[in-house]
Structure 1
Amino acid sequence: MQVKTIIKSTLLACLLFTSANAMQELVRGNGAEPATLDPTLGEGIPGSNIMRDLYETLMTEDKEGNVILGQASSYTISDDKKVYTFKIRENAKWSNGDPVTAHDFEYSFKRGVDPKVAARYSWYFKILGIKNGAAILEGKKPVSSLGVKALDDKTLEINLHSPIPYFLMGISHVTTAPVPKKIIERYGKNWTKPANIVTNGAYKLQEWVVNEKIVLTKNDMYYDKAKVQIDKVTFVPIPEQSTELNRYKAGDVDYTDELPKSKYQSLLKSIPNEVKVLGRVGTYYYYLNMKKKPFDDVRVRKALSYAVNRDIITKKVLGTGEKPAYTFVPNIVSGYTAPVPEYATWTQKERNAKALSLMKELGYSKENPLKFEILYNTSEQHKRVALAIASMWKTSLKGSVVVSLKNQEWKTYLEEKKSGNYQVARAGWIGDYNEASTMLDLLTVGHSSNSSFYENPQYDKLMNIARSTTDDIKRNKLYADVDSIVARDMPIIPIYQYSQARLVKSYVGGYPKVNPLGAIYTKHLYIKK
């Protein structure tokens, strides 16, 4: 009896140990194939989702999006709020065991503004207010003059040209992550391949099969590895939401990037605990290429904007918590009150009538229609919205507008938009930090995401004043004035304020109830089963 009891106890202990130490794996749907895994060169949500797991910045975010210490163990701010001094964690390491140093951050920041590198997010270092950032981007000063300097291996000093209230929030963005100089110099453009890459975040890259999967495994060199519970995460690019839903139902995916809007209500009834919805600092909009006629005429831009029935888009086409957008900055932004443009107070019937009047004034009619394409990246959601808007324009404008749709895969879409090879293009922007400038900066001259090619000196002047205004109330008032200029000049058509609806299996723990930027790090998740 005693022997049997001992054997049973031993078996039970082994089973409990095995269960407690079982490999935790997660499969995340990720929309599109990322363009790159180089944080300096990256852009777009698909890449950011992965790079947040691979790299860690000086400041990072907790699971609810609050800014906390990351690779920095502490920091000090000068009395004039223009000099930030960061201490790098003594136990911060790259995945190959090398220490992460202040020199890595200095190299990364300067690489980001180097015109020879041509990073898509180079503008970001300008809006962070780093000394000489703007002059370097304009070719007026050398890269070496950027106000970022390693004082020693573990001390980084960043000088700003003026106080920037959102600076700490801003440097939590993955664009400001360190990159390994010696690895980049050794492998060049191939440094992000699985055999070559080193990372400093909670995960490291194990496998990358283009258009199939990107596999990350836990980084044993990460200073906070004891708190990381998911051992392996696989990101799968699935552009079509219906396909992603089928794979989710089949058990191939634990966490979707999105869900089909048409299925939202039925999913809410059948699996309510697995439907997750977050409000987000972001706006879905259409770019109007002002370098192409007739979109250089504000009357065309206003007519097209007025004739979009945002209530139908948000309630009928989407229906997952989105809100109609009449301004660029969403209401969810911390401390911000959006202006109410005059056209937002009209009924849709009044907006349609004004739009038709403008088209007639311009000489467009059913017999002489305005013809153009809507460019969008491959996605059922984007197609549904584009079809709905095209129908609204056709009906409300009495045939004076004829629209065709053009879809491209993610990388090609980005290039078409960047080069200006389009007339009207769908776009969306999720804030890089929770402040109004994260949206409004996109329409400043020289911004790489100003795909409308909008130029307004008054707009840029107000943005420059706002960035250095430390009083929150005054700064947000300036932002509201800038937002009103967007409504007046209509370089974009704001359509709706984002919400993020996705499916997450009930055995996945740690998913937040609040996260305005929608930045979900795998290190904050865990498997409950």
Structure 2
Amino acid sequence: MRRLPIALAAAALLTFATGCGSLSPPGENTAAAPRLVDARPVRDGGVAVIGLKSDPDKLDPSLTGTLVARTVFTSMCEQLYDVDRHNRFVPQLAASLPKISDGGRTFTFDVRRDARFSDGAKLDAQAVKTSLERHLHLRGSGRASEIDSVEKVDTVGPYTVRLTLRHPDTPLLGRLANTAGLIMSPKAIAKYGSAFAAHPSCVGPFKYVKRVIGDRIELTKDPLYYDADKVHLDGVVYKTITDGNIRLANLRSGDVQIGDQMGPVEVRSGMGDKTLQLLNTPSLGYMAVTLNVGNAHGIAEKPGRVNTPFSRDVRVREAFDLSLDRALINKIVFQDMYEPACGPVPPGTPLSTPVTCPGRDVDKAKRLLKAAGVRTPVPLELMINTTPEDNRLGQVIQAMAKDAGFDVRLRPTEFATGLTRTLAGDFQARTGGWGGQPDPAGNIDSLVGTTGSNNQGKLSDPEVDRLIEAGRSTADPAKRRDIYRRLTAAINRQHAVIYLYRNINYAVASKDISGIALSGDGLIRVKEAGYVKGGQG
């Protein structure tokens, strides 16, 4: 792919980004007053189409690893706990918050008594046990390391579950308010086994109808849902539209009612359209460049030897990090509508501490490469998604890194293919992110811990692992805050995950739709959404 000098890339991208009509000026952060939910009264009926940025991977809670799949799950597969609009944990399929005893080693909770899965199976303690044990033991499960503190799952009554932990695990509640808390029908698990993704059945306002890979996922209202009286839509269609401009065009034409993960360029254009509404909230996640330092045999295997300058010498990775200007990336690519980031802990959450991002230092980067004894320019293949936004990001990274002595070659890759390659270890570096959780352990443990099931680059560092364990083992907020401050520093010293920016969660929707909820985890919830009374749909 042709590379642009950084000054030319900046000029070209800023011209493109600001040529979108009568809009607010760049640098004005539209998330200053986040709109989380639109509560106009709605009528029953109609189908809403949601445009997704990428095609979800497997619709199997144990095996999925993508934010877009989690977005689909919000409509068809509820969790034990959820995150409300204020990023607080609240019961969903659980009937109450857990009772923690035995010094933090026993975790007991009740489950709802009024819920059924879409295939008619009853939700009870045994159903929860079946799902949690599948998360723990299914080969390739992305949940295994997330809840690996769980030694045993017991039912201590028809609707009571007791988790016996190997050690205290303060962040466990947060994980059960995420993908690890998704509960599947035991009937469907028994019938379909590893093919569950083709026949998913959960508790949710909508149930699965069919999927056309690369195109759409169709859901219909589930009459068995315990809260069906609050569900107004007849169905939801999740349609994959990777280009944000095309998602916006479909919103304007009425073919799509809600646009997920809209980028700054499309948001600014949408803000000038009186037929559209903007919902946004600060993200709990991050976006980063992940370098392959040990994923030699696949993500399910132990870290191995990857024979590249980046894997062999941390100085090469640090030099690459120092070649990047996070503030300028935010300005050029994202119109100052995101925030530079240099750590996994979301600011403004209870356990966060201020982190100063390193400035760009090309001279130091060159000195580090010289000390490492590598021949310049150092080659690096950077896998990016096939979206205009990722292409712009890749071009800016490419131009910045060139100044320090790197030859970055961009490899645009369709999302699902890129994920497959990443899990197999078939990459040198990739851009990507994490949707985020309020507890920092949810943004760290499985992603950079040696045994983490989402550790794509297979970073393995004893100090990082020790601090991860320490963060799990204490409930004292002051101690945990200090642990995560030190843990962030330890991760950054390895320069294997280079945190770049923290996006704002933007959703653009037709004004004909109301009742959409958007939380800090970036997930669009349409359980109570519907067409406004008197509107079309």
Normalising by structure 2, we get a TM-score of 0.83
Alpha-carbon spacing, 1:480–1:271, altered in 2? closer, same or farther (3 Å): farther
Shift of 1:372: 1.9
**Given that residues 59 and 72 in structure 1 are in contact (C-alpha distance below 8 angstroms), is that contact kept between their aligned partners in structure 2?**
yes
**Given that residues 43 and 121 in structure 1 are in contact (C-alpha distance below 8 angstroms), is that contact kept between their aligned partners in structure 2?**
no
Q: Residue 67 of structure 2 corresponds to which residue in structure 1? A: 45
Matched AA of 1:70: Q
* Cα RMSD for the two superposed structures: 2.3
What is the percent sequence identity of the aligned residues?
25
Q: Residue 441 of structure 2 corresponds to which residue in structure 1? A: 437
Q: Residue 71 of structure 1 corresponds to which residue in structure 2? A: 93
Alpha-carbon spacing, 1:118–1:233, altered in 2? closer, same or farther (3 Å): same
Alpha-carbon spacing, 1:83–1:107, altered in 2? closer, same or farther (3 Å): same
SS at match of 1:185: helix
SS at match of 2:285: strand
Of residues 77-86 and 302-311 in structure 1, the stretch that sits farther from structure 2 once superposed is 77-86
CA deviation profile, 1:69-124 (whole Å, cap 9, x unmatched) = 2122235333634323222222111123331121111111111111x532123211
SS at match of 2:190: helix
Matched AA of 1:424: A
Q: Residue 306 of structure 1 corresponds to which residue in structure 2? A: 322
**Given that residues 329 and 338 in structure 1 are in contact (C-alpha distance below 8 angstroms), is that contact kept between their aligned partners in structure 2?**
no
Q: Which segments of 5 or more consecutive residues in structure 1 lack a partner in the other structure?
A: 1-18, 133-146
User: For 2:479, which of 459, 474, 479 is the aligned residue?
Assistant: 474
Q: Residue 183 of structure 1 corresponds to which residue in structure 2? A: 188
Shift of 1:37: 1.1
Q: Which segments of 5 or more consecutive residues in structure 2 lack a partner in the other structure?
A: 1-40, 294-305
Q: Residue 328 of structure 1 corresponds to which residue in structure 2? A: 344
Q: Residue 308 of structure 2 corresponds to which residue in structure 1? A: 293
C-alpha distance in 2 between matches for 1:63 and 1:483: 26
Matched AA of 2:59: L
Q: Residue 144 of structure 1 corresponds to which residue in structure 2? A: none
Match runs of 1:13-412 below 5 Å: 22-74=44-96, 75-78=98-101, 80-114=103-137, 116-126=138-148, 129-130=149-150, 132=151, 147-193=152-198, 196-271=199-274, 274-290=277-293, 291-295=306-310, 296-319=312-335, 321-340=337-356, 344=358, 346=359, 348=360, 351-363=361-373, 368-394=376-402, 396-397=403-404, 400-412=405-417
C-alpha distance in 2 between matches for 1:95 and 1:377: 34
C-alpha distance in 1 between matches for 2:143 and 2:496: 21
Please say which structure displays the higher CA radius of gyration: 1
Normalising by structure 1, we get a TM-score of 0.85
Shift of 1:58: 2.0
Alpha-carbon spacing, 1:376–1:465, altered in 2? closer, same or farther (3 Å): same
**Larger RCO: 1 or 2 (CA < 8 Å, sep 6+):** 2
Q: Residue 523 of structure 2 corresponds to which residue in structure 1? A: 519
C-alpha distance in 1 between matches for 2:472 and 2:172: 10
CA deviation profile, 1:454-494 (whole Å, cap 9, x unmatched) = 11111111110111111101101001001011222211211
**Given that residues 242 and 260 in structure 1 are in contact (C-alpha distance below 8 angstroms), is that contact kept between their aligned partners in structure 2?**
no
CA deviation profile, 1:118-158 (whole Å, cap 9, x unmatched) = 212321112xx32x3xxxxxxxxxxxxxx211223322111
C-alpha distance in 2 between matches for 1:276 and 1:485: 35
**Given that residues 95 and 204 in structure 1 are in contact (C-alpha distance below 8 angstroms), is that contact kept between their aligned partners in structure 2?**
yes
C-alpha distance in 2 between matches for 1:445 and 1:327: 18
**Given that residues 85 and 520 in structure 2 are in contact (C-alpha distance below 8 angstroms), is that contact kept between their aligned partners in structure 1?**
no
User: For 2:428, which of 423, 438, 459 is the aligned residue?
Assistant: 423
CA deviation profile, 1:260-308 (whole Å, cap 9, x unmatched) = 4334434334449623332101111111122232012111111111111
Q: Residue 6 of structure 1 corresponds to which residue in structure 2? A: none
**Given that residues 105 and 177 in structure 1 are in contact (C-alpha distance below 8 angstroms), is that contact kept between their aligned partners in structure 2?**
no
Q: Residue 16 of structure 2 corresponds to which residue in structure 1? A: none
Q: Residue 12 of structure 2 corresponds to which residue in structure 1? A: none
Matched AA of 1:99: K
C-alpha distance in 1 between matches for 2:483 and 2:520: 22
C-alpha distance in 2 between matches for 1:474 and 1:56: 32
C-alpha distance in 1 between matches for 2:169 and 2:133: 19
C-alpha distance in 2 between matches for 1:20 and 1:252: 19
C-alpha distance in 2 between matches for 1:263 and 1:172: 31
C-alpha distance in 2 between matches for 1:437 and 1:125: 11
C-alpha distance in 2 between matches for 1:333 and 1:50: 26
Matched AA of 1:516: G
C-alpha distance in 2 between matches for 1:332 and 1:169: 17
Q: Residue 459 of structure 1 corresponds to which residue in structure 2? A: 464
Alignment coverage as a number of residue pairs: 478
**Given that residues 378 and 407 in structure 1 are in contact (C-alpha distance below 8 angstroms), is that contact kept between their aligned partners in structure 2?**
yes
